[in-house]
Chain A
C-alpha cells in the first residue's frame, strides 16, 4: 500500500475554540489508484488532502506514506518529500501572478536545482502535454480559468510525482471546462499510472474515480468507501 492511515486526527485551536478537523481516519490507498474524497463543506476533505500531501502533520494516529510515518518526519524531510513525490492542483489555481505560464511550471523544478535550459525544456514539454504551448509566454491574468488550471496541472506533473493531489480542481470552473479538466486529469492518470487523489463535493467528478471515499465530520462515512464501476469509454490499464 502507498498510504496507510490509522486513527489519524487533526485538531486546530481557532479563536479559543478547539476544532477536530479529522476525528480518526482509517484509510489505505494503493499505488496507481484514482481516489475521489467526497463530502460536504467543512467535513475535513482539504485537511485530509494536506495530510496526504505532507503539507501538514496529524495531531494523532499514524499516516504512513511508502512505509514512512509522515507524523514523525522533520520539516526538511517533508519538504524533500513534497518536492519529489507530490504534485498539487488547487481550486484557485495558485499560479504566481507575475510569472508566465512556462515560468510557473518552472517554479516546480527550482528545488531540483536543474540548469535553466533543462528547466525550460521540461516546462515546454509539460505545457505541450496539456495543449498550451502557444500560451507559454502569457501571464495568468491573460489566461482563462480552464487554461490556468491546465497550467497548474502541468506544474503538478512536470516532476512526474508519485501522487497528484487535487483539491477541488474544478470548483472555479464552468461545466464544460470542468469536463475538460477532469478528462485531462483522468487521461494523464491512465497514461502515466500515477496515484491521483481528488477532493471534491461534485458527485459527477467523484463518479470518474475508481474509488470514492466519503467523509463526514472528520470521519470516513460508514459504508463511505466504494469501488466505482468502470466507465465504458475509459478502459482501465
Chain B
C-alpha cells in the first residue's frame, strides 16, 4: 500500500515531481562538475609543483645573487693577436645557473641534523655553453688618425662576426639519494637510471626530450667540458617540468664546474606535513641569507591561467554551487509544502480513518525521497557528463612561477645572447586540465540530493502532521 500510494501520487503530479527532481539535479550536477573541475585544477597545480619541485620535496633551499656579481661570463671572443683576426674559434664553458650562489655541501649534513627533517639531498644545476664563430676583423684607420705609441699596429673599428651559441643544462645529482631532488619525478624510459655505485663514474642519464632532439640513445656519449660521459639511460620527466637535459653524478658536476664541495640547490623532505613550517623556520635560522621555499610558497607564486582557474574554482565555483543547491532545496521544499496543502482533504480523510500522523508524514517523506533519488541520479549523470566534457576539451593551462632575473646595467652587450641561452626568464609550465570524478564525490552528491529531499519532506511532513482531521474535512455549510 505504501509504495503503491507513493508511486501513484508521483505519477499523478509527475510534472511537479519532475520539476523538483530537476531542481535538485541541477544543484547536484553543479557540485559534481565544479568539484571535479576544482579537483582537476588542484591536480594540475600538484603536477606543476611536482615538476618544479620534484616528488616528495617539502622544502627547497637555494641562495640567489644578482647577475652582476662576479662580472659577466668571459668567452674570450677577441682575437689573441692580429694574425687570428677573422679566424674561426670555439669556446666551451660550464657555469652555474647565473642567479644562484653556490652553497657548501656541508650544509646538506647540517640541515639533515635539524629536527623534523626526514631526508636531504643537494644538487648542482649547471649550464654547458658552446660558443663558436669567427674572431672580429679590425677595419684599418688612416695613418693620420692613428695615435702615437700604436706600435706600428693600426687600431681600427672591430667588425663583429656572427657567433653561434648552443647550450644544454646539466644537473649534478647524488646517485645514492635519487628519491628526492631533480630526478625524483622521472621515469626511466630506456636503459637504467643512475645508481649509488655510479658516484664517481663517467656516466649520464639524458632526458628523453633532449635525446630525441639530438638523436641520442643509450650507449652513446655526451661531452661535458671535454669529458665524455656514457649515456646509460633515458629518463622521461613530467611535461612542462623544469628538467635538465643531462644528469651526471654530483662529484663530476662539481669537478667540471670547479665547484668542489658545492651545491646550489638543497631538497628537503620533512618527517610529516605538519612539520614543514617548523623545518622551514629552522633552516632560515641556520642559513639566514638562503631562499627557503615550501611547496605552499611556490603555490602562492603560481600565476598564469592555472592560478586564474584555481581562483575561479575556489571562490566563484564554491559559492555558485552553494547558491544553486540552496535554491534547489528551497524549490523542492516549496513545491512539497504546496503539494501537501492541496492534499489537505486527502490527509484529513486518512487521519479520520485512523492513520497516525507519523504514517502520513512517512508517506510525504517517501514521495520527496523518491524525487530526491531521481534528482541525484540525474544530477550525477549531468555532473559526470560535464566533467567529461572538461576532460575531453582538456584545455591547456599555463603556470608561471617566480619572475625574471634583473640584468644589471653595464653588462657587456656581446654576452646578451649567451645570457639568454642560460634561461633567465621565469619558469612557465604547461599542463592540461582534467576533471576527475571519484566515487566519493558521487556519494557526496547523492547525499546532498537526498538531504535536500529530506528537508523538503520534513517541512511538508510537518505541515501534514499539524493537520487536524476536523479542520481538514470542514466544509462551508
Q: Which residues of A contact B (CB under 8 A)?
A: 41-43, 45-46, 50, 53, 55-56, 76, 79-80, 82-84, 88, 90-92, 94, 96-99, 103, 106-108, 110-111, 116, 119, 155
Contact = CB atoms under 8 A, between A and B. Distances in A.
A99 B470 contact: no
A42 B476 CA distance: 8
Nearest to A107: B353
12 contacts: A46-B475, A46-B477, A79-B351, A79-B354, A83-B353, A83-B354, A83-B355, A88-B352, A91-B475, A103-B4, A110-B1, A119-B1
Contacts of A45: 477
B477 A41 contact: yes
B115 interface: no
A107 B350 contact: yes
B474 to A, nearest CB: 7
B474 A110 contact: no
A82 B352 contact: yes
B346 interface: yes
Q: Which 4 A-B pairs have the closest CB atoms?
A: A83-B354, A56-B470, A98-B8, A111-B354
Interface of B: 1, 4-5, 8-9, 11-12, 345-346, 349-356, 359, 468-470, 473-475, 477
Contacts of A90: 349, 473
Nearest to B355: A111
Contacts of B349: 88, 90, 94, 96
- Which residue, of B346, B352, B356, has the highest number of chain A Cβ atoms within 10 A? B352
Contacts of A82: 351-354, 469
Contact of B353 (A41, A108, A116): A108
Nearest to B4: A103
B474 A46 contact: yes
B420 to A, nearest CB: 79
Nearest to A41: B477
Nearest to B13: A98
B152 to A, nearest CB: 119
Contacts, number: 82
B9 A110 contact: no
A97 B353 CA distance: 16
A53 B352 CA distance: 8
A52 B434 CA distance: 70
A88 B354 contact: no
Given A45-B477, A91-B475, A96 B346 contact: yes
A98 B356 contact: no
A79 B356 contact: yes
Contacts of B351: 79, 82
A96 B5 contact: yes
A50 B8 contact: no
Contact of A55 (B5, B8, B9, B470): B470
Contacts of B8: 98-99
Given A46-B475, A99-B4, A103-B4, A110 B12 contact: no
A55 B351 CA distance: 9
Contacts of B1: 103, 106-107, 110, 116, 119
Contacts of B359: 110-111
A60 to B, nearest CB: 16
Contact of B470 (A50, A80, A84, A106): A50
A48 B200 CA distance: 107
Nearest to A93: B349
A50 B477 CA distance: 14
Contact of B356 (A41, A99, A107, A111): A111
Contact of B9 (A43, A98, A107): A98
A106 B5 CA distance: 11
Contact of A98 (B11, B345, B354): B11
